[in-house]
Amino acid sequence: MKQKKEKLSGAEGFDEYYENIYGSRWESLKESLFLENQSVEYKIPGAEKSYFLDSASVFAALCLPLKNAENILDLCAAPGGKTLVLASRMPDNAHLSSNERSADRKHRLSVVVQTCLPEEISSRITVSCSDGATWCTRQTECFDRILLDAPCSSERHVILDPKYLNTWSPSRIKTVSMEQWALLSSAYRLLAPDGIMVYSTCALCPAENDEMIEKLNKKFNKSGNAFELLEPSPEIVEIKNFTDIKIPGFEKTKYGYEILPDKQNGAGPIYFSIIKKHNSILT
């Protein structure tokens, strides 16, 4: 089976790979990827501009509880939609570090922060350009809330671009999942005890989703009490003045949750897992 997967390529290989995962559901799920996703307007009073993002992305960011948070990190923040959701909800005394590895994308992120947030909020945000996978070599256990919306295969974009679809192969997923693990393990080291992290992607394959959390569990949770996985409790009331959003439904996976566009009128795909850290890795 492993050798067969490695031989898959192009549009036909893409189809076969995901049909093996989703079975008879794949056809309807694939068709939903061609539909326009369910974007909503996010407008914060006092900001110069609105921002439009997928309702599923808003939902994932809402599942990071911010009550009593002081030091918040958005580790892979560009283009900036989830940063806006976090910033609009964070306590008045909180600070948000919004980071992006790419210099070009970091510039775009900075523009979003300056134009889509009022000054009283943007002044409490630091936008940085750094490799999130190596951040933990400079600091550890210093953030009480972290959002890691990791780079992923993004099958919706692949299927809409013939160039990417025709050159697709499972090696793409293998490469991306290695990058995701470097980011996730770094983020976990950056998370303070009693802190909470949301790991999310817009990928459909378990290798980039549940399998990442399973790997985290095997690496850091051998005793079973280093961290726990929380159920979604989105803080919807906090954004009622910023957007008119229809909250999508979600489906349970082994270690997290997913919002899939075939069941949610085009919203998603989004996978997310909510991790609460208990014990320090430094002791």
Give me the active site residues, please: 202
Taking CA 206 as the corner, what is the angle to CA 204 and CA 211, rounded to the nearest 5 degrees?
145
* CA dist 238 → 65, 121, 189, 243 (Å): 11, 15, 29, 10
3-class SS of residue 119: helix
Cα distances from 198 to residues 83, 137, 160, 273, in angstroms, run 13, 21, 28, 6
Give which of 118, 113, 79, 74 is closest to 96, Cα–Cα: 74
* Angle at alpha carbon of residue 269, lines to 214 and 224, rounded to 5°: 20
Name, in order, each residue with C-beta under 8 angstroms of 107's C-beta and a sequence gap of 6 or more.
none
